Amino acid sequence: MNTLKTTDKMTAALSLLCALALTSCGAPEARQTTAADETAVTVTETVTEQPETLPPLSIVSETAEPETTEPETTEPETTESETTDPETTDPETTEPETTEPETTEPETTEPAASYELGFKEDLSEYEKYLDPEDRDGYLLLVNPEHPLGRDYKPSDLTLLTDRREGRKDELRLYAGKALEAFLMESRANGCKRMTSVSAYRPYNTQEYIFDNEVKGYMEEGMTREEAIKKARSDTAYPGESEHQSGLAVDVLDYGSTLSTFGGTFEAEWLAANCWKFGFILRYPEDKESITTYVYEPWHFRYVGRYHAKRIFDMHMCLEEYIEYLANN
């Protein structure tokens, strides 16, 4: 178990430093293991300014500032995925399901729409993001064996509309819109205080975190080599964090800590319903030996609904699913 680490480790001090120095960082994250309690950080960091009255999230509503996050403006010119997406030209008439699901996947036995989404909110405008036309465009695998390079930065990063005040979290366009729907629907289902706490994390931020980790261990008396080894055992090495993909997000119930979130009603709801929004629980409790990361009930990864549903139904982690796809 001590070889497992969390992708989201960050000391309280670092988190604070990041919040001050790097506005795109500042993830209030910590190890799940008890040994890591010293690193536990909660989203209550802002509670001091915003007591327990529920508006604390001060979610920026989509109507509040449509211009800044208007997806259409970034959509046309960006990634390869968009170029194949005809919906961008006329969002009004979108009806992804009806287009041609059968013709594109003859080999699978899965019926196209054999499930009920049962949304309480009207998410029809989000549908094209939840179930993207570019079905296979979001399956990027990022882990210690498949790190991202220093220069990897998605071209369609978009500021999250539904974010905490003062934060500038970004995700790739489709993941961000899907997250918006995910959070909206979670609140309609009793998860009143769900909020994202960390999204896109650039390479240099990971590097900053890792270097500080090494520095801390060296100050405790370790040699540089020992410190690097120790840091690698519990912190994602630069390039190995899935957050760099712009497709991963950490969400928490406002006021929860990473170590107390697991097992809550909110965590259970998110895990059971994430596929409807195109997300998977990236580091499940019983897949630690494969992912090499501890259970992270707060960390969700966008892959699009088609694959999210299959991953959910087959009870796989992304590593297993990618292999499954390669063999089938």
Closest CA to 200 of 167, 237, 238, 171: 171
**Alpha-carbon separation of residue 42 from 81, 190, 193, 250, 264 (angstroms):** 36, 21, 14, 12, 15
- CB 196 to Zn ion: min, Å: 10
- By CB under 5 A, which span of 75-83, 117-125, 209-217, 299-307 interacts with Zn ion? 299-307
DSSP summary character for residue 144:
T
- Residue 69's φ and ψ, nearest 5 degrees, are -115, 5
Q: Exactly one of 65, 219, 296, 323 is catalytic; name it.
A: 296
The residue sitting closest to Zn ion, measured at its beta carbon, is 299
Min dist CB 272 to Zn ion, Å, is 19
Least gap, CB of 248 to Zn ion (angstroms): 6
Nearer Cβ to Zn ion (46/244)? 244
In angstroms, give the least distance from the CB of 299 to Zn ion: 4
239: DSSP letter: T
What is the distance between the alpha carbons of residues 179 and 199, in angstroms, rounded to a whole number? Answer: 10
Considering only 2-10, 65-73, 166-174, 225-233, which stretch makes contact with Zn ion by CB under 5 A? 2-10
> Tell me, what DSSP letter sits at residue 237?
P
The answer to whether residues 257 and 40 touch, using CB atoms and an 8 Å cutoff, is yes
Residue placing its CB nearer to Zn ion in the complex, 30 or 59: 30
β-bridge mates for residue 302, sequence order: 279
Site for Zn ion in 4-43 (CB under 5 A): 8
Nearest to Zn ion of 127, 250 (CB atom): 250
Closest to Zn ion by CB, 94 vs 244, is: 244
Nearest-5° angle of CA 252, CA 255, CA 257?
65
Where in 227-286 is the site for Zn ion (CB under 5 A)?
250
Number of residues that bind Zn ion (CB under 5 A): 3
Per CB under 5 A, which region of 117-125, 151-159, 166-174, 298-306 contacts Zn ion? 298-306
Binding flag, residue 299, Zn ion (CB under 5 A): yes
Query: Residue 155 CB, nearest distance to Zn ion (Å)?
Result: 22
What is residue 8's DSSP assignment? T
Nearer residue to Zn ion within complex by CB, 169 or 185 = 169
Task: Enumerate the H helices of the chain as residue ranges.
Answer: 12-21, 66-69, 71-74, 80-83, 96-99, 101-104, 127-130, 173-188, 203-219, 224-234, 258-261, 265-273, 288-291, 305-313, 318-327
116 is catalytic: no
Binding stretches for Zn ion (CB under 5 A): 8, 250, 299
- Name the residues annotated as catalytic: 296
